[in-house]
Structure 1
């Protein structure tokens, strides 16, 4: 979605939400009308009265729940104790912003599960119909309760499978094409979920004592199961398409730039983008869209006029761009350093050797940082591409004169060291008599048997797969810089100026300055793996 120079950046999300609410009504209406005409006891009058408003409620709560930031919610015990303190204590203790964000997410989970249960209740009653049984009792209680169960089951499955986290596609395609390609997978998922939900609700309903029981061998019982299964598939298929449409519309690239050829494009083409990056909420979708737009500008040759605006003469724009990209990487390095300890500290090394394998597992609050992979990947790719482009496009030398080159390389290597330490790849800085080749550094796993066992535990599971992915992106970005500046770096290494031009003089975020220099030499020799 393109932005004009007079449109504030906050309208980007509002426009997407409104377009999502409009477009989601089309496939859901078509599916509902088709199955209303197919099922025997359903009525067309139930569509505007029950189906449409409750499905809109489900769609709105789904959009409220979705977020690109994979924040960890509160546990049920924490949520219960917080709500009890809020209700019975006159002045509850104030919590940190991070805790309040987790609390809002947990309450949003409850709201979404409630909305899905209510929507499924109304939808099943509308689709299955409410005809009298042999005893003269209306089926609204039996069918509606089964709908409530399948709605609750879908809501819990959606929450615990973390489907609410927006994952941006690697390749940006037109929205209609992306939506069309997701219809078969949505139908398959809806079919699988409908089978499980129908069996679960049917068994659960037969176990509970209530006045709506049928005889297992009766014809009406089997007819009810078939009708309910078809209605469940219709509901889940409509919800899956709504989820897919929300993903397509909200992960589409937004261009944070004034129109090309306007006065703003000539004077300050980066202000819209920097405003979204610096002033928006760090966990909001708006900031993620801004990072995506920045990454595509730096990596591609489509908007070269926007990238040229980063290298303006004063260098302030370039420093602001580099700063907003390095902050998330610095945050990741510091969090992992706090969780696992700096591997070069002797007390930490000794404690790691004496600890048991189970103690080597990091705390969950540090592990959750790795789930924000797409933000770290964008930041790493952006600074790597922008630094590599500066060799030919930086006419005023602002990248080198401002010290941004050294800051970028130091941050990338420090973050890589922290991630590798998390994966169990220990760093051993060798003495001059034990140097292995020109790089002078040995990267290996500790020889202790107990540490090897801990490392094996870390390498299993989805968390460590995220760590491997982040490490690969960081290595690619460093190699991208080293490949472009290889001749300059070799000349600087021979003149003993490599560390002066490419490594900051202060204490790094992780490790020591000597480790950063020797790791950079490994990349310079193309031996960093």
Structure 2
């Protein structure tokens, strides 16, 4: 498995998903098709022409074979569209009004090249287009699937099943996009694929039942507003039978889609080992090159990079593949610096973007009255608060889905496993602590928490005047109104992860940090000499002392 080229990992998993999803789909089709055929046979009169004509005895089998292939065609269409729209990165789509404005701007600008359109807008427009295509594919898949499951008559073709299936697929596609189920969420605990799939059966069945009930109500409303040519005069018994068949057929379609969605998530979020085979020459010389290449060279929002982060987390947090974790502390220290750099990269981006957003918000507050800036004006700051929506990317960088820290655990583990001292000598420990503290200060400032330096006695003037030592108080007033907003809970979650990570490191190096503090070398040993990502050296040092005294909260 580890010998597979990185570019083939996602392709192989998609092919495996197409193969495995056909098994539950076939079972559901055979089960529900047989049940619907039984209901239709019992409802038909004993004087039907098909029962008396021996030439039509093979018609049901031929129709069933045709509908079987049609049903799998609909599932293939849904599976392909599912893989197209799914992503571990929570992309932000462009809203319809933004698409219209961007399209008009593209037509009016004299230079109609792609350079005239912002890159961010093009990416968001592609995301919106993928959502539209996914919903359309679900509608077409619903039409084909409902006809395949519910059409059991050998004479005539009922167009109403096509319309009902279109509505069923349209409903599922809209719900899927609205609830952001296209975002791949890695499970907290990595289990075998079969066990994970089995654990998702109850939730998939429950969701299918709920959606089938909604679809029935939607179909009843749609039937009431259909034009006259589709309204047929039928008996009460036949009407009831059609409603039962529709409920069964819609439930079968929703169940197939739910199981495909669950299987897609299970197979695509399974851990992949980015390492050469144990015992090979590559494993003896440089076992970390495969992992670092996937982390550094892959697209930041691709599934391949998320799988690489997950593998790194498993190596750092568990007592598995200890030989790979020991290779991080090789004598030159280059591997350890590369590992910590890829872990801190999403945190650095988060801190820088939050700092930029906070400064721009201060400028807007100084220009306009605070009464004119409504909290609903999210368009003014969406590009600055967007990193908080990408919490999973940061989460994979410092904390794996099972709730443990990656870079913090690696730094804490270096206290006992780093025999050559490369973590401390290379300055990686100071970079990790400084980045975590800067990011924590930025998130807390966004939450409205006051993050100013507590002025010591030697900074008091002769008249007892306290001299200002930080300008972050202005930022506090600019963002205090954001407390309780939609992003406050996400910021709180990020801050909680950061505090836990810092406490993990402080607990491991507590004695060394106390000795450095007594000698006055705490800032020199554990804070970088260059300008921090957010705040000042005094703020970072004060925050580190709070953690050292276990008083940070």
Name the TM-score, length of structure 2 as normaliser: 0.86
Q: 2: CA distance between counterparts of 1:375 and 1:78?
A: 26
Q: 1: CA distance between counterparts of 2:539 and 2:125?
A: 41
Structure 1 alignment gaps of length 5 or more: 436-440
Kept after mapping to 1: 8 A contact 2:89/2:390: yes
* Partner of residue 55, structure 2: none
Q: Tell me which moved more, 121-130 or 148-157.
A: 121-130
1:13 aligns with 2:10: yes
Structure 1 residues 311 and 335, CA, compared in 2 at 3 Å: closer, same or farther? same
* Partner of residue 396, structure 1: 420
SS of residue paired to 2:229 = coil
* Partner of residue 203, structure 2: 185
Query: In the TM superposition, what is the alpha-carbon distance from 1:261 to its structure 2 partner?
Result: 1.0
Query: In the TM superposition, what is the alpha-carbon distance from 1:127 to its structure 2 partner?
Result: 1.6
Query: In the TM superposition, what is the alpha-carbon distance from 1:373 to its structure 2 partner?
Result: 1.9
Kept after mapping to 1: 8 A contact 2:68/2:148: no
Aligned counterpart for 2:66 among listed residues 18, 36, 46: 46
* Partner of residue 454, structure 1: 481
Structure 1 residues 202 and 131, CA, compared in 2 at 3 Å: closer, same or farther? farther
Any idea what the Cα deviations from partners look like across 1:447-505, whole Å, max 9, x if unmatched?
A: 999989724432xx4x3222211111111110011001111111111111000011111
Structure 1 residues 452 and 509, CA, compared in 2 at 3 Å: closer, same or farther? closer
After superposition, residues 138-157 of structure 1 pair within 5 angstroms as: 140-157=158-175
* Partner of residue 438, structure 1: none
Count of residue correspondences: 510
Kept after mapping to 1: 8 A contact 2:344/2:432: yes
Q: Tell me which moved more, 262-271 or 353-362.
A: 353-362
Kept after mapping to 2: 8 A contact 1:121/1:145: yes
Aligned counterpart for 1:91 among listed residues 109, 112, 116: 112
Q: 2: CA distance between counterparts of 1:171 and 1:259?
A: 24
Structure 1 residues 210 and 401, CA, compared in 2 at 3 Å: closer, same or farther? farther
Q: 1: CA distance between counterparts of 2:444 and 2:476?
A: 19
Query: In the TM superposition, what is the alpha-carbon distance from 1:105 to its structure 2 partner?
Result: 1.6
Structure 1 residues 17 and 488, CA, compared in 2 at 3 Å: closer, same or farther? same
* Partner of residue 57, structure 1: 77
Name the TM-score, length of structure 1 as normaliser: 0.89
Aligned counterpart for 2:95 among listed residues 75, 94, 109: 75
Structure 2 alignment gaps of length 5 or more: 41-59, 399-404, 460-467
1:467 aligns with 2:491: yes
Aligned counterpart for 2:537 among listed residues 513, 517, 527: 513
Q: Tell me which moved more, 77-86 or 27-36.
A: 77-86
Kept after mapping to 2: 8 A contact 1:32/1:47: no
Could you say which structure has the larger radius of gyration? 2
Aligned counterpart for 2:446 among listed residues 412, 416, 422: 422
SS of residue paired to 1:79 = helix
Q: Tell me which moved more, 46-55 or 303-312.
A: 46-55
Structure 1 residues 8 and 54, CA, compared in 2 at 3 Å: closer, same or farther? same
After superposition, residues 225-240 of structure 1 pair within 5 angstroms as: 225-240=243-258
Q: 2: CA distance between counterparts of 1:79 and 1:131?
A: 45
1:315 aligns with 2:312: no
Query: In the TM superposition, what is the alpha-carbon distance from 1:54 to its structure 2 partner?
Result: 1.6
Kept after mapping to 2: 8 A contact 1:139/1:212: no
Kept after mapping to 2: 8 A contact 1:119/1:151: yes
Kept after mapping to 1: 8 A contact 2:70/2:145: yes
Q: 1: CA distance between counterparts of 2:301 and 2:83?
A: 15
* Partner of residue 465, structure 2: none
Kept after mapping to 1: 8 A contact 2:445/2:451: yes
* Partner of residue 245, structure 1: 263
* Partner of residue 388, structure 2: 370
1:127 aligns with 2:149: yes
Any idea what the Cα deviations from partners look like across 1:148-180, whole Å, max 9, x if unmatched?
A: 111111101101110000000111111000000
Q: 1: CA distance between counterparts of 2:180 and 2:199?
A: 22
After superposition, residues 288-307 of structure 1 pair within 5 angstroms as: 288-307=306-325
Structure 1 residues 66 and 489, CA, compared in 2 at 3 Å: closer, same or farther? same
* Partner of residue 54, structure 2: none
1:163 aligns with 2:181: yes
Structure 1 residues 348 and 524, CA, compared in 2 at 3 Å: closer, same or farther? farther
Query: In the TM superposition, what is the alpha-carbon distance from 1:296 to its structure 2 partner?
Result: 1.2
SS of residue paired to 1:509 = coil
Aligned counterpart for 1:36 among listed residues 33, 36, 46: 33
Q: 2: CA distance between counterparts of 1:310 and 1:349?
A: 46
Aligned counterpart for 1:358 among listed residues 337, 351, 374: 374
* Partner of residue 51, structure 2: none
Query: In the TM superposition, what is the alpha-carbon distance from 1:197 to its structure 2 partner?
Result: 1.3
Kept after mapping to 1: 8 A contact 2:347/2:394: yes
SS of residue paired to 1:170 = coil
Any idea what the Cα deviations from partners look like across 1:228-265, whole Å, max 9, x if unmatched?
A: 11100000000000000000001111110011111100
Kept after mapping to 1: 8 A contact 2:447/2:480: no
Kept after mapping to 1: 8 A contact 2:2/2:276: yes
Query: In the TM superposition, what is the alpha-carbon distance from 1:93 to its structure 2 partner?
Result: 4.0
Structure 1 residues 281 and 103, CA, compared in 2 at 3 Å: closer, same or farther? same
Kept after mapping to 1: 8 A contact 2:447/2:479: no
RMSD: 3.0
Q: 1: CA distance between counterparts of 2:368 and 2:122?
A: 38
Q: 2: CA distance between counterparts of 1:360 and 1:430?
A: 34
